């Protein structure tokens, strides 16, 4: 398809409007490939003319592919367009842990991480460092927003996502997995030299401004901090999370 029919789907791509319709915006060929590999249902794609043959080949005829010059696409969608392809996909559900088997191994838990860029960057690091799943607590940014998906390089589509509350957070701990909070407080220990004792780790990170709430910290087995040079107030949560995952993940037997 290359006519005007269906292009109205892409008019002014606002996350809140698409979320209300059960859709999300996929930006770029890498994300489209990951969405297709994850088995997501694609409603339609929009690309530049030079990219149309490859996008149509990837679609296998399962969804319509529209093409327009880049300036026309930018005017239609309302932002600078330079990633070759946009697509609309159906949003998968985010189950509660009680409704699915929580994967074994290391987990990343995010709590009130409101910035979609931080959420995306943390998810990208989690995938790179071997997290089996990502659990989202209350107040987190929409993991299927355009910015979160883009900064995650599509890795929010490659790992199982779960929803958790305090009870669900506590359920992530067990004989084979420690629940660790990244927080500053009376129970805090330095990350350097910490040994999880051969167990997997579920690492909980909170809001960049005020951290994890007390009720979340209380259910954790350990509370760790990244040691920093004097005079430095804090690390960005995405940077701190990457450091902690590097140190803690992958320590349990394969």
Whether the pLDDT of residue 107 is over 90: the answer is yes
Mean pLDDT of 165-171: 91
Q: In what order do the strands lie in the sheet with 161-163?
A: 161-163, 133-136, 107-110, 200-205, 177-182, 222-225, 188-190
Q: How buried is residue 27: exposed, middle or buried, by Cβ count under 10 Å (0-12/13-18/19+)? A: buried
What's the pLDDT at 98? Answer: 57
What's the pLDDT at 101? Answer: 66
Assign 100 a pLDDT band (cuts: 50, 70, 90): low
Whether the pLDDT of residue 81 is over 60: the answer is yes
What the chain holds in terms of domains, given with CATH numbers, is: 7-90 (3.30.1330.30), 97-248 (3.40.1280.10)
CA distance 204 to 219: 11
What's the pLDDT at 97? Answer: 60
Structure tokens at 222: 């350990």
CA angle 251, 151, 124 (to 5 degrees): 10
CA 228, 231, 237, 243: dihedral to nearest 10 degrees? -20
Structure tokens at 236: 């960005």
DSSP 16-29: HHHHHTTEEEEESH
**Per residue in 215-249, pLDDT tens?**
999 999 999 999 877 766 778 999 999 999 999 99
Type and span of the H or E element at 90 = strand 85-90
Indicate the pTM of the whole model: 0.89
Assign 95 a pLDDT band (cuts: 50, 70, 90): confident
Whether the pLDDT of residue 125 is over 60: the answer is yes
Mean pLDDT of 129-152: 95
Mean pLDDT of 105-114: 96
Mean pLDDT of 58-76: 90
Torsion region of 6: left, alpha or beta (phi above 0 gives left; psi -120 to 50 gives alpha):
left
Q: What is the largest CA-CA distance in the chain?
A: 64
Q: Which of 58-67, 73-82, 174-183, 195-204 shows the lowest mean pLDDT across its residues? A: 73-82
In the block, residue with structure tokens 């606002």: 14
**Per residue in 23-48, pLDDT tens?**
999 999 999 999 999 999 999 999 98
**Average model confidence (pLDDT) across the chain:** 89
Mean pLDDT of 110-134: 96
Q: How buried is residue 180: exposed, middle or buried, by Cβ count under 10 Å (0-12/13-18/19+)? A: buried
What's the pLDDT at 227? Answer: 84
Q: Which of 17-21, 52-56, 118-122 shows the lowest mean pLDDT across its residues? A: 17-21
- The percent of residues in the chain predicted with pLDDT above 70, rounded, is 93
């Amino acid at each position: 398809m290359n006519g005007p029919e269906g292009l109205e789907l892409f008019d002014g791509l606002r996350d809140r409007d698409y979320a209300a319709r059960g859709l999300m915006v996929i930006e770029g060929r890498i994300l489209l490939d990951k969405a297709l590999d994850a088995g997501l249902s694609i409603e339609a794609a929009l690309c530049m003319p030079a990219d149309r043959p490859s996008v149509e080949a990837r679609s296998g005829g399962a969804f319509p592919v529209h093409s327009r010059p880049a300036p026309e696409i930018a005017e239609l969608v309302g932002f600078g367009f330079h990633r070759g392809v946009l697509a609309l996909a159906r949003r998968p559900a985010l189950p509660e842990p009680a409704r699915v088997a929580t994967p074994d191994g290391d987990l990343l838990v995010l709590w009130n991480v409101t910035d979609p860029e931080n959420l995306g960057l943390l998810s990208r690091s989690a995938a790179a460092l071997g997290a089996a799943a990502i659990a989202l607590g209350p107040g987190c940014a929409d993991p299927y927003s355009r910015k979160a998906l883009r900064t995650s390089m599509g890795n929010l589509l490659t790992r199982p996502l779960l929803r958790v509350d305090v009870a669900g957070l506590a359920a992530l701990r067990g004989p084979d997995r420690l629940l660790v909070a990244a927080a500053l407080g009376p129970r805090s220990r330095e990350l350097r030299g910490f040994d999880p004792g051969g167990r997997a780790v579920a690492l909980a990170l909170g809001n960049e401004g005020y951290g994890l709430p007390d009720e979340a910290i209380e259910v954790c087995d350990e509370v760790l901090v990244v040691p920093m040079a004097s005079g430095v107030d804090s690390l960005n949560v995405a940077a701190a999370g990457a450091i902690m995952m590097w140190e803690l993940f992958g320590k349990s037997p394969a």
